[in-house]
Amino acid sequence: MSAPKNPKAVIVLGVHRSGTSAIAGALALLGFHPGANLLPAVAGVNDNGFFEDQRVVGLNDEILALCDQDWRWPLSLPADWQSLPEIAPLRKRARALLVEQNGHHRWLLKDPRMCQTLPLWLAELDALGVSPHLLLVVRDAKEVAASLNKRDALAAPIAESLWLNHL
């Protein structure tokens, strides 16, 4: 399939439990393609789904792990993380996923981890000639912290630091 002219690519950004799934779901209803390999919905957590391609989440988790982090840890990635030799194969996999998505006229990327890994994704989109539209979802830090505490037992100071780091 050849890439459509002027594809519309939206990246939904925001901390976990801030409403990014609701926004991505609305975009999906409007015809934006969230990926072919979506995380399944979880009853009582995200009943309608997360609208996150598992491969994007997996790549973002691998990037964080290479920097001795995971999504629950509210620290920024090191300044030089993109130049780590281990990132190169992940960058190639990211580009392959984006090429696949680029077959759709309107598509979206969504994963809260992208608040950390966005520079890699933007560079790969730029290399493909795609100008993304960034949509930042913001929810009150105390509400996010309460939701993260309920879902993941994250203490309020950690959850609020995570919120701040993602913004």
136: CATH? 3.40.50
Assess whether pLDDT exceeds 80 at residue 2.
no
What SS3 class is residue 12? strand
Q: Residue 146 is part of which domain span? A: 8-166
In a domain, 128, yes or no: yes
Q: Would you state the pLDDT for residue 5?
A: 67
Q: Would you state the pLDDT for residue 30?
A: 94
Q: Helices (H), strands (E): how many in the chain?
A: 6, 3
Assess whether pLDDT exceeds 80 at residue 4.
no
In a domain, 1, yes or no: no
Assess whether pLDDT exceeds 80 at residue 120.
yes
Domain total of the chain: 1
In a domain, 2, yes or no: no
Q: Would you state the pLDDT for residue 47?
A: 80
Assess whether pLDDT exceeds 80 at residue 160.
yes
In a domain, 87, yes or no: yes
In a domain, 88, yes or no: yes
Q: Is 132 within 8 Å of 32 (Cβ atoms)?
A: no
| CA–CA separation, 54 and 34 (whole Å) | 10
In a domain, 27, yes or no: yes
- Mean pLDDT over 130-158 rounds to 91
Q: Is 49 within 8 Å of 41 (Cβ atoms)?
A: yes
13-50 confidence digits (pLDDT tens)? 999 999 999 999 999 999 998 888 888 888 877 788 89
| CA 26 to chain CA mean position, Å | 16
In a domain, 3, yes or no: no
